[in-house]
Chains A and B, each alone.
Chain A
Amino acid sequence: MTEQNSTGISAETLIRLSAAQLAEKLAAGEVTAVQATQAYLDRIAAVDGQVNAFLHVNAEEALAVAAEVDAIRAAGGAEAESLHVLAGVPIAVKDLIVTIGQPTTAGSKILEGWHSPYDATVVERLRAAKMPILGKTNLDEFAMGSSTEHSAYGPTRNPWDLDRIPGGSGGGSAAAVAAFEAPLALGTDTGGSIRQPGAVTGTVGVKPTYGSVSRYGAIAMASSLDQIGPVTRTVLDSALLHQVIGGHDPRDSTSLPEPLADLVAAAKTGNVEGLRIGIIKELHGEGYQAGVENRFNDALELLKEAGAEIVEVSCPNFQYALGAYYLIMPSEASSNLAKFDGVRYGLRVLPEDGPMTIERVMGATRAAGFGDEVKRRIILGTYALSAGYYDAYYGSAQKVRTLVQRDFDAAFEQADVLISPTAPTTAFPLGEKLDDPLAMYLNDVATIPANLAGVPGLSLPGGLADEDGLPVGIQLLAPAREDARLYRVGAVLESLLEAKWGGPLLAQAPALGAESLETQEAK
């Protein structure tokens, strides 16, 4: 288990390095990309039976990319000099993002076994940076859910407590990073699917400004809300990854044309003096677990001590945000998912009896291929868009979107960055909210406003709740195109918290796999 490589870094130590630390050791020749990639593949083999974060493991290709990086480094010269800083640092990809050479399922039976003929732009950028792709991670079907229980391939489990949910929809990416099965992962966030899993697994997740990262190749749920972003263990790692995947892409017509700010430099700023940080009155207090509220208050105290000015802002229209989201998202999803009809790709199911028409084949295919939550949202969206209801539902929801944006505009007049808990509670037990869709939707109450307004949000670990010892997430929000502020404040808060804890929060997570068995044997 503690097998040492040639330079004396054990695999156990290797998988716990941040991506930035690993990149330094790779550049310094203290460890090879193949050693690092193999260490992660071994970790996946050892613990993923418990966690179920991965739907597909891409060992062969990942090792080949790692070997290529090692060869370039060994040869030296201009090519070695021009290697990306994250070259050789492995990454996992949410299985909503299409990849050549690996299946893409979106967590759905309707795409079981499907291989995309093209790479998403973000995947092309990972390949250009020569980052080995470890595999594809589990998710709620078509990213619809807050617990990863709606995956057609079984739930992912929270590494902090295997009987609890890892959040969703990106529970696989968050759990993989939390369980040290990957140093980095990609997620997608439509209403909180990067940030809420980050919160409940003690990891960092960022939803960039809408348009900051290309959506080309992310299977669309709600096109005006979806955004790809980083899932990592540190704020700096998210900044590094955001810079790999971000920037203009002509293949996504909603991609922002301007270049990204220097996010890594922002993460290294190291101070928050004089920054105005706004508490959103409507996003804490009633309805939030006491332990969540306590860790939130601790974070405010630390930021105040570091010289930030804490102000209170009010966003009265946020009370309508959840409702507006549950009209806009299903409306767009019902349209986006119409293409899964058993004609061009994926499953085709023939009706058992009666006339064999294409309409009946579509009906049978979609009945068998989609799970309950996807069907619910398609029906809801079809309803909200139907003649007679369109103005009352979809039209009204779009107006609420304007009101939410105006609330943000007013709040950002008074504050440079806004802060709230990421989710109202810590991870709940598997199964608890599966039969109550509305209770499940309430998990996203604090994350949804950012998607409606297109502003960026970052969730970072805020500590453990007193009552259950589970991770609590702190959410930071900034104006559109000001993602850099999130990294600046996030990195400062992270370092203050880690100083208090005496190390990263994940160091306190329980052992998994053979590691947990060895601990037991040692006793």
Chain B
Amino acid sequence: MAAINRDDVAHLARLAHIEMSAEELDRMAGELAVIVDSVKSVSEAAGDDVPATSHPIPLTNVFRDDVVGHTFTAEQALSGAPDSDDNRFKVPAILDEA
């Protein structure tokens, strides 16, 4: 498996929507390289015949009746929002032309 480098971290940070300074990228790349190296052995631990486990205690088909349950009022839902207008969350421009 390829080692993780500074360019990878910059790309991942963009994907994860976290702005990082040059200094942060350098530091994070070094730290993550050590961590990624330490977990490498995981990819060699299990053969192709071993099934994956996504959940520790398998439960199947957990459904509820299709009835309206508790819902928040608009006021409750917006109570922690940084900005709102007309009962809606308000955000800056979505397109890159502010």
Residue of B nearest to A250 (CB): B64
Tell me, rounded to whole Å, the shortest Cβ–Cβ distance linking A287 to chain B: 14
Residues from chain A with a CB closer than 8 A to the CB of B31 are 376, 437
Within 8 Å of chain B (Cβ to Cβ): is A395?
A: yes
Take A356-B98, A392-B1, A396-B42 as given contacts and tell me if A362 and B32 are in contact as well, using a CB distance cutoff of 8 Å: no
Residues from chain B with a CB closer than 8 A to the CB of A455 are 56
How many angstroms from the CA of A357 to the CA of B96 in the assembled complex? 6
A381-439: which have CB < 8 Å to B?
Answer: 382-383, 386, 389, 392-393, 395-403, 405, 437-438
Q: Which of A254, A327, A357, A380 contacts B42 (CB 8 A)?
A: A327
A interface, over-half SS: helix
A-B pairs, top 10 by smallest CB distance, nearest first, are A454-B56, A348-B82, A398-B52, A399-B46, A345-B80, A323-B39, A367-B19, A363-B19, A401-B53, A117-B76
User: When each residue 115-130 of chain A gets 1 if its CB lies under 8 Å from chain B and 0 otherwise, what string results?
Assistant: 1111000000000000
Within 8 Å of chain B (Cβ to Cβ): is A347?
A: yes
Tell me, rounded to whole Å, the shortest Cβ–Cβ distance linking A43 to chain B: 32
Which segment of A239-247, A336-344, A500-508 sits at the interface? A336-344
Interface pairs (24), CB distance under 8 Å: A117-B80, A224-B55, A224-B56, A254-B55, A254-B57, A254-B62, A320-B41, A324-B39, A326-B35, A341-B17, A359-B17, A359-B96, A366-B18, A367-B18, A376-B35, A386-B12, A393-B42, A397-B42, A398-B53, A400-B46, A402-B46, A402-B53, A405-B56, A480-B56
Is there an interface contact between B82 and A347, defined as CB atoms closer than 8 Å? yes
Residues from chain A with a CB closer than 8 A to the CB of B92 are 350, 356-358, 361
How many residues of chain A have a CB within 8 Å of chain B? Answer: 77
User: When each residue 83-123 of chain A gets 1 if its CB lies under 8 Å from chain B and 0 otherwise, what string results?
Assistant: 00000000000000000000000000000001111100000
Query: Which positions in A face B, CB cutoff 8 Å?
Result: 114-118, 209-211, 224-225, 250, 253-254, 256-257, 317, 319-320, 323-324, 326-327, 334, 338, 341-348, 350-351, 355-364, 366-367, 370, 375-376, 378-380, 382-383, 386, 389, 392-393, 395-403, 405, 437-438, 441, 451-455, 480
How many angstroms from the CA of A116 to the CA of B16 in the assembled complex? 25
How many angstroms from the CA of A257 to the CA of B64 in the assembled complex? 13
How many angstroms from the CA of A494 to the CA of B27 in the assembled complex? 45
Is there an interface contact between A382 and B79, defined as CB atoms closer than 8 Å? no
How many residues of chain B have a CB within 8 Å of chain A? Answer: 56
Residues from chain A with a CB closer than 8 A to the CB of B93 are 355-358
Query: Which positions in B face A, CB cutoff 8 Å?
Result: 1, 4, 8-9, 12-20, 24, 28, 31-32, 34-36, 38-43, 45-46, 50-57, 59, 62, 64, 72, 76-77, 79-83, 89, 91-98
How many angstroms from the CA of A323 to the CA of B57 in the assembled complex? 21
Residue of A nearest to B59 (CB): A254
How many angstroms from the CA of A363 to the CA of B92 in the assembled complex? 13
Tell me, rounded to whole Å, the shortest Cβ–Cβ distance linking B90 to chain A: 9
How many angstroms from the CA of A222 to the CA of B18 in the assembled complex? 20
Is there an interface contact between B94 and A399, defined as CB atoms closer than 8 Å? no
How many angstroms from the CA of A111 to the CA of B91 in the assembled complex? 18
Residue of A nearest to B1 (CB): A392
How many angstroms from the CA of A380 to the CA of B37 in the assembled complex? 12
